[in-house]
Amino acid sequence: MKTMKKALIIALSLGAMSSTAALAADVTEASSAKHAKAATQYRQALFQLVRSNMGPLGGMAKGALPFDESVMETNAVRLEQLADMMGDYLSVDTREFDVETAAKDGLWENFSDVESKAMALKKAAQGLQAAVKAGDSSAYRGAIGEIGASCKSCHDDYKKD
């Protein structure tokens, strides 16, 4: 009986995870002005967190701050986690409502590309984590640069100036 309960729990959990992943890949239209406003606020909050974690890394890459392995590892882990959330928080198309946003229309028109760029951020963040774990200080600047390049790639295509 306990084995069946465990199997059912596992099956339900896997089903929930796979349905969440499927939802993340689909763009949905905001259902109301209130929904569009909330979706925009969440999207912007996500990018504020990205910015707060990228700032110190950029300072280190530019030589304005000394390399700090603890900060690099922590911020890279956070950026990886934030990249995983991007599909969910970017998938609500808010164009039909009057919301203040810097998102270009292409964000929802080319959503598979947006998701690819989010995964590039994740991969770059993992690269910085690997460099820190290996203690390869010669790779720090380049690994941070990869994160910055992944951010810039998305900004260039999907963020208004």
Residues at the binding site for heme c are 151, 154-155
Distance CA 118, CA 151 (A): 8
- Cα dihedral sign, 89-125-105-100: positive
Q: Which residue has the tokens 């929904």?
A: 35
Q: Write the pLDDT tens digit of every residue in 68-96.
A: 999 999 999 999 999 999 999 999 999 99
At 161, the pLDDT band (50, 70, 90 cuts) reads confident
Full-model pTM? 0.83
Kindly provide the residue ranges of all beta strands, DSSP E only, lying in the chain, ordered along the sequence: 28-29, 92-93
The whole-number pLDDT of residue 25 equals 53
Residue 2 has pLDDT above 70, yes or no: no
Residues at the binding site are 151, 154-155
Q: Write the pLDDT tens digit of every residue in 15-57.
A: 444 434 433 459 999 999 999 999 999 999 999 999 999 999 9
**How distant is the alpha carbon of residue 118 from its chain centre?**
5
Domains of the chain with bracketed CATH: 28-158 (1.20.120.10)
